[in-house]
Amino acid sequence: MGLFINNKNHPDVYKNNQELHEPNQMLSRQDYLTMLINEQQKANAALTQAFAEIGLQTQQQEEIQVTQWRHIDNQLSDLRSKLERNEDASYQLAQQMDKQLELQMEVSEKVTKQADLQGGMLQRLDNQEALIEKISRQVNHIRSILFERTNYLATKIDDGYKVTSSYVYKLMTGSDQPLTFFLMNHKKEENQQHPD
């Protein structure tokens, strides 16, 4: 649209007989703050969603681990009672501990799948700016903590099994030899009593 000049009432307004030097605009104003706030709000919404998903998955994983640990603790209590009442408890303890180790492996697999899901979320967040990269590093840190705790728990269960087995075997036999030596001798005696 061209410049309107009211020739009837104000004929001299906006008229210039001199040569115009373009461009003659000296100041341009853009609202960068509003643009930045809008972009930040979008980034914050994405981060809030990602944190909510991570928080939900972490809570679910913690609930699963608590249930597994209660189950393992209950089984250990039952095994101790059986050891006090039954002469054959050491063999049953070994079988039960194998099952518990299998349960722990299942927990480790679930943690690995959880880490893979978190990795997928990290890939969706990679296109954000420096703020998103900071969150990505935090998620990776959380994932490493989960792996460390899982390995720590597996080691603790294994150590607890060895200590409990050796202690019970020592109580039952009075021998300081490890439980594996007893099981090997027991199996050897069975093979001698029942040869094929």
Q: Domain for residue 182, yes or no?
A: no
Cβ proximity of 93 and 164 under 8 Å: yes
Q: What mean pLDDT do residues 14-32 have?
A: 69
Q: What mean pLDDT do residues 173-183 have?
A: 60
Q: Domain for residue 106, yes or no?
A: yes
Q: What mean pLDDT do residues 167-187 have?
A: 64
pTM of the model: 0.34
Read off φ and ψ for residue 84, nearest 5 degrees: -70, -30
Q: Domain for residue 29, yes or no?
A: no
Residue 42 banded pLDDT, cuts 50, 70, 90: very high
CA dihedral over 114, 118, 119, 120, signed as positive or negative: positive
Residue 178 has pLDDT above 80, yes or no: no
**CA distances, 176 to each of 2, 93, 171, 179 (Å):** 104, 18, 9, 9
Q: Domain for residue 42, yes or no?
A: no
Query: How many independent structural domains does the chain possess?
Result: 1
Q: Domain for residue 85, yes or no?
A: yes
Cβ proximity of 157 and 111 under 8 Å: no
CA 164 to chain centre: 31
CA 75 to chain centre: 27
pLDDT at 168: 74
Which domain, by its residues, includes 114?
Answer: 61-176
Q: Domain for residue 80, yes or no?
A: yes
Q: Domain for residue 86, yes or no?
A: yes
